[in-house]
Structure 1
């Protein structure tokens, strides 16, 4: 079969789709990809040809700090993104049997599938992306169920205000009828939840038939660079710190290094999109670029990160305690799950300091927490892409 897999956003949004693409290709299927322009070269290195979709969310190195857009600029950007998704998806989906769209901000996938008369499904990467009385939109689990549902209604109205007119204009171009509610259309009646059932269990979802596949993890066989290997071999396991694609303040590097040193640990600092750097040339620290987390995490004492779904799952699989500094979207949810499972601690972004991070790090390095993280590693499923690929094959049979 021929399947189109589409992902928009940062690497955390795109990599799960690529992981599923690898599994589908392994089974002999014809795979097409839509990914943002800054990931075209990366997926090309994995042997895929991709259609660019959306915008590159990473600023070029050395670029001036972003200025908050005006309301007019936001409206223009949303209009551009909606039309771009429709055009890119329509072009890539010609001749396909199914579209699988990763992430909730997939404005066009189901409309294009409707126009072509093919199957489609949207997969989300966190339970809090699904309307539920168990949580507010993007929030931590819990709270009053009625209040949560009212907030989901507000969320739906917000989506309609931003997107309904624009999506209907694009549907009209395709000869399709108008929508009345954007969010329910984007998700459909039977979305997939691509999370591990232990880390991110399925909430109650009235009106939806959700299938939980497990997390979509891209196997990584890349070796660690010799400099990192030498650093790891030169002493006790260090603390890894990385915030991925998050726009953290450059001074964050100084704060986190101070905390790790106060805990008596060495540090592996991932530069990330913020291009964090070491504060001096002391031998207790090393700065790295992109790295195979699957190879590195089992060799560190703790992982300090932003709480992305992929990093949280990879750290849990490695059996290493975590300290999460959540910033937005689903990250507070993952921080709450790590705390609830006793796999680590968290620090609110607004409260981040050397002192607060030191306290959180000492809590995560506690023998009981570390032992619990190690013992729980085997409970994290590794077959999410296998389950999803099985579902795709059954749907098209």
Structure 2
């Protein structure tokens, strides 16, 4: 949490002490105050362990990729969510059962909301965005959706489309505006991120010079986190010994170069979509749905409709071509009002080919 951690750090900084923290919520929400205080006292703040556990994500971004303009960030940044989705994929088990088992084996907290609703991932993405683009960003700027609505049937249909479902953090640098979102995503099976399983994390950076690079490893746990904390302590000690304190700015950019950037509204984002629509088994339903999508400029790439049941609703599953989020929302709102539609449509975004 934020307090009393923030007060402790600020007191230490005021006393001229260097500090190291693994607190992602603190850095993502209150980092501006902490970094300003540290700069005023010429001390360092180490926070490598706040993103990616034992994976050296922040050092790579701040130093190894300094020659690059970062074009995109994409990754699996929460081990609990990835463990649950992996088990659901491999075993066909429902979300609630896998979550209960994950809690019993220590892979999920007693209150897992922070992990399964995407908030933990959003904190980490906010930190990486600040470093990658030299900008201020708040948690409220990041569109965040969790995995609680994902059902085994969605996993099965994803497989039919050649995809696996992952909770992804996604950011793209469009120059004058920045995408920032966390949500379940269908990832093509040939993509490296589709094959990150269990409690592991992986973060992909795209630079204008290096192209795509992928960092993979244990994103949580006492030893991986301890490794990152120790690395930050040693970095600071080396800088003290050589008289090079604050050799690398906390957020890579000099403080005066950090500025606000426009966050792309989700309504302006375009991608392909998966829809699972629960409908009454009666004639004309598919034509009605297709007509609504057509009126909103949404083109259908493929449709799956399983055999009829003796009773109850059936699923109409669609994959679209690239469509604008605003149009998709309007179309689904209209579809869900049809008398033949029995429940709210499930929508999952699909990773585009040019993201691979």
Q: Please, what TM-score do these two structures have when normalized by structure 1?
A: 0.24
Higher strand share: 2
Query: Whose radius of gyration is greater, 1 or 2?
Result: 2
Q: Please, what TM-score do these two structures have when normalized by structure 2?
A: 0.26
